[in-house]
């Protein structure tokens, strides 16, 4: 069955909303967020296959799509938590033990400035990482490829500050190497706050040899030694400061030439005109220049970067999602009749809507294939449809089960109808399983999310039900 992927602006990950300046050094690390971010765990490949609808193309969120050497997918666990799953190519981590050691080490980090690592999977040749899902794109998208509005100056300063805090936290925990720090590694959470991707903390070699970006942007010492050092990370942070200032990806050598010639205006994004003082611009340029020093020992530490960026923060009382101009996850979405029925637990109304939908979400292909199957199988589906129409839900379950167990054809609508039939028979767990299966087959079908919500309401998992209800609403709106 074909379907179209659409990015959601809803996610169940916890956010660091409202925490801006003068926080305790370990705010959000460890105990402070233990309730929000679960402990690191080992996943099976089957769990991650289910979560990503079989690594469906529709769920790819990598900037480079399915042609990238390591593809990142959006997924959803049984508890409704959205995740990002990075699937490495077969040659990336030949040593399974080294991969597990690295992942477990990075997985101990917990901070509201990171897109934290939730777990990993190592089975056979498969190597996968599981992280918090960030629904609002990358810094590269907002800086270089924006569609509605350029990023405001106050938000650019906040990005620099939060990233410096992330690097300072990682350094304090003994993880001072970050590989290929760039605008694609900076992600925005549901509150619009920037987070540093945990994926860059994984080093797939013992001596720190790893750098995949354009060599024109690499630290000079990397070209000499082929190694990434903590000072190399600061150099890359300097290139990010240039990105934030210019709105373009400018080679550091060219930027430094402009700075030496005191041609700062050529370096500044024209979209920022009138948004900041000369002093602010000069200070950011000065900080970038220090990060880009040729000699590594001349560069500032993350702690110094944090201190230097605090005085530059502007509009600190304004939430990030407002500065970014993105929808806020806390904003109520207007519910459709189907969403209202789900919220009221009105199964009769949901039955009427599902009955009227028919099989149109199977996109027609299914009917042709069914006519070529065994007559007995086709009859069991037809009998199930008749029973479903006449609200004989026990018979509907029996008939749909016969059809499903033959296994020659999968239909999200059959799973959805059996799910509602289970709900009508007070079999909420079975209903939830079928609703999840409907979404595995059709990752962006709103009805599957609504049925998950109804089943979760039935088992009194209120928070998870509200998340599924919101997801169904977003999907239905996108389809309209």
Question: What does the pLDDT look like over 274-313, one tens digit per residue?
Answer: 888 888 888 999 999 999 999 999 999 999 999 999 999 9
Q: Are residues 320 and 343 in the same domain?
A: no
Contacts from 465-471 at CB under 8 Å and sequence distance 24+?
467/10, 467/12, 467/80, 468/80, 469/339, 469/342, 469/343, 470/10, 470/329, 470/333, 471/8, 471/10
Average pLDDT over residues 255-267: 80
Q: Is the pLDDT of residue 4 over 70?
A: no
Point out the least confidently predicted range of 3-7, 97-101, 235-239, 442-446. 3-7
Q: Among 323, 305, 306, 307, which residue's Cα sits nearest to residue 315? A: 323
pLDDT at 29: 36
345 contacts 454 by C-beta, under 8 angstroms = yes
Residue 84 in domain: yes
Q: What is the CATH number of the domain that holds 117?
A: 3.30.200.20
Mark which of 132, 157, 177 sits at the end of a domain. 132
Same domain, 313 and 286: yes
Per-residue confidence at 210, pLDDT binned at 50, 70, 90?
low
Query: Is 170 in the same domain as 238?
Result: yes
Residues 128 and 145 placed together within one structural domain of the fold: no
pLDDT at 193: 96
Structural domain count of the chain: 3
Let me know whether 439 and 300 are in one domain: no
Residue holding tokens 């007070």? 426
Domain boundary among 132, 157, 183: 132
- Residue 69, domain member (yes or no): yes
DSSP string of 72-111, one letter each residue: EEEEE-TTS-EEEEEE--TTT---HHHHHHHHHHHTT---
**In this structure, what token pair is assigned to residue 65?**
């799509």
- Same domain for 320 and 346: no
Helix (H) or strand (E) holding 461: none
pTM given for the model:
0.74
Measured between alpha carbons, how far is 67 from 69 in angstroms, rounded to an integer? 6
Whether residue 399 has pLDDT greater than 70: yes
Task: Write b or e for each residue in 166-181: b if 16 or more Cβ atoms lie within 10 A of its Cβ, otherwise e.
Answer: bbbbbbebebbbbbbb
Same domain for 317 and 177 = yes
Residue 302, classed as helix, strand or coil, is helix
CB 262 within 8 A of CB 196: no
Of 301 and 363, which is predicted with more confidence? 301
Mean pLDDT, the chain, integer: 84
For the domain that residue 286 is a member of, what is the CATH number? 1.10.510.10
CA pseudo-torsion sign 365, 368, 369, 371: positive
Residue at 21 is within a domain:
no
In this structure, what CATH number is given to the domain that contains residue 425? 1.25.40.10
Asked if residue 112 is part of any domain, the answer here is yes
Residue 157 has a pLDDT of 96
Q: Quick check: is 180 catalytic?
A: yes
Contacts of 70 (CB under 8 A, 6+ apart): 62, 86, 87, 88, 89, 92
Cα(274)–Cα(127) distance, integer angstroms: 48
CA distances from 198 to 112, 365, 472 (A): 12, 41, 29
Q: How many CB atoms lie within 10 A of CB 427?
A: 18
Q: Give the domain extent around 104.
A: 41-132
Say if residue 154's pLDDT is above 70. yes
Residue 392 DSSP one-character state = -
Nearest-angstrom CA–CA distance, 180 and 71: 16
Q: Are residues 93 and 125 in the same domain?
A: yes
Question: Mean of the pLDDT values across residues 349-374?
Answer: 68
Q: What is the rounded distance in angstroms from the CA atom of residue 471 to the CA atom of residue 80?
A: 10
Pick the residue with more confidence: 364 or 447?
A: 447
241 and 315 share one domain: yes
With respect to residue 50, please indicate whether it lies within any of the assigned structural domains. Answer: yes
Q: Are 300 and 291 in contact (CB under 8 A)?
A: yes
Asked whether residue 10 is assigned to any structural domain, the reply reads no
Name the active-site residue from 46, 78, 176, 180.
180
Is the distance from CB of 405 to CB of 438 less than 8 angstroms? no
User: CA separation (Å) from 376 to 179, 381, 403, 418, 443?
Assistant: 58, 9, 9, 19, 29
Contact status, residue 131 vs residue 118, Cβ threshold 8 Å: yes
Answer yes or no: do 299 and 342 share one domain: no
Q: Does any domain span residue 8?
A: no
Residues 351 and 429 in one domain: yes
Q: What are residue 113's phi and psi, to 5 degrees?
A: -100, 0
pLDDT at 250: 86
Shared domain check, 163 and 63: no
Among 74, 99, 132, the domain boundary falls at 132
Band of pLDDT at residue 66, cut at 50, 70 and 90: low
Query: First-to-last CA distance in the chain?
Result: 19
113 occurs within a structural domain: yes
């Amino acid at each position: 069955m074909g379907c179209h992927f659409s990015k959601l602006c809803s996610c169940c990950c916890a956010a660091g909303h409202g925490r801006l300046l003068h926080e305790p050094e370990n705010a959000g690390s460890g105990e402070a967020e233990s309730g929000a971010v679960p402990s690191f765990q080992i996943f099976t490949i089957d769990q991650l296959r289910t979560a990503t609808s079989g690594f469906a193309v529709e769920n790819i969120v990598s900037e480079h799509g399915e042609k990238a050497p390591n593809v990142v997918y959006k997924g959803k666990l049984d508890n409704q938590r959205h995740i990002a799953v990075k699937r490495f190519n077969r040659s990336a981590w030949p040593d399974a033990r080294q991969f597990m050691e690295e992942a477990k080490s990075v997985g101990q980090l917990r901070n509201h400035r990171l897109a934290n690592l939730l777990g990993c999977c190592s089975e056979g040749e498969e190597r996968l990482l599981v992280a918090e899902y960030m629904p609002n794109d990358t810094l590269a998208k907002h800086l270089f490829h924006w569609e509605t509005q350029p990023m405001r100056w106050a938000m650019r300063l906040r990005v620099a500050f939060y990233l410096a805090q992330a690097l300072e936290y990682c350094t304090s925990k003994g993880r001072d190497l970050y590989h290929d720090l760039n605008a694609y590694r900076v992600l925005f959470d549901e509150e619009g706050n920037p987070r540093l991707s945990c994926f860059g903390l994984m080093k797939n070699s013992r001596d720190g040899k790893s750098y995949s970006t354009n060599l024109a942007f690499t630290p000079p010492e990397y070209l000499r030694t082929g190694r990434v050092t903590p000072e190399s990370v600061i150099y890359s942070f300097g290139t990010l400061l240039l990105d934030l200032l210019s709105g373009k990806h400018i080679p550091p050598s060219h930027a430094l030439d402009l700075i030496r010639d005191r041609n700062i205006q050529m370096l500044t994004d024209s979209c920022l005109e009138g948004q900041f003082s000369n002093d602010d611009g000069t200070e950011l340029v000065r900080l970038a220049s220090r990060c880009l020093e040729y000699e590594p020992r001349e560069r500032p530490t993350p702690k110094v970067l944090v201190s230097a960026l605090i005085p530059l923060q502007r509009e600190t009382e304004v939430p990030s999602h407002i500065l970014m101009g993105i929808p806020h996850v806390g904003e109520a979405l207007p519910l459709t009749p189907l969403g209202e029925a789900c919220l009221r637990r009105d199964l009769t109304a949901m039955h009427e809507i599902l009955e009227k939908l028919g099989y149109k979400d199977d996109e027609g292909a299914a009917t042709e294939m069914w006519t070529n199957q065994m007559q007995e199988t086709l009859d069991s589906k037809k009998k199930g449809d008749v029973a479903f129409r006449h609200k004989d839900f026990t018979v509907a379950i029996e008939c749909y089960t016969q059809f499903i167990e033959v296994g020659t054809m999968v239909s999200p609508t059959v799973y959805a109808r059996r799910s509602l039939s289970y709900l009508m028979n007070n079999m909420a767990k079975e209903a939830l399983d079928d609703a999840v299966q409907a979404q595995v087959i059709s990752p962006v079908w709103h009805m599957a999310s609504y049925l998950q919500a109804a089943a979760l309401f039935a088992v009194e998992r209120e928070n998870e039900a509200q998340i599924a209800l919101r997801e169904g609403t977003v999907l239905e709106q996108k389809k309209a």
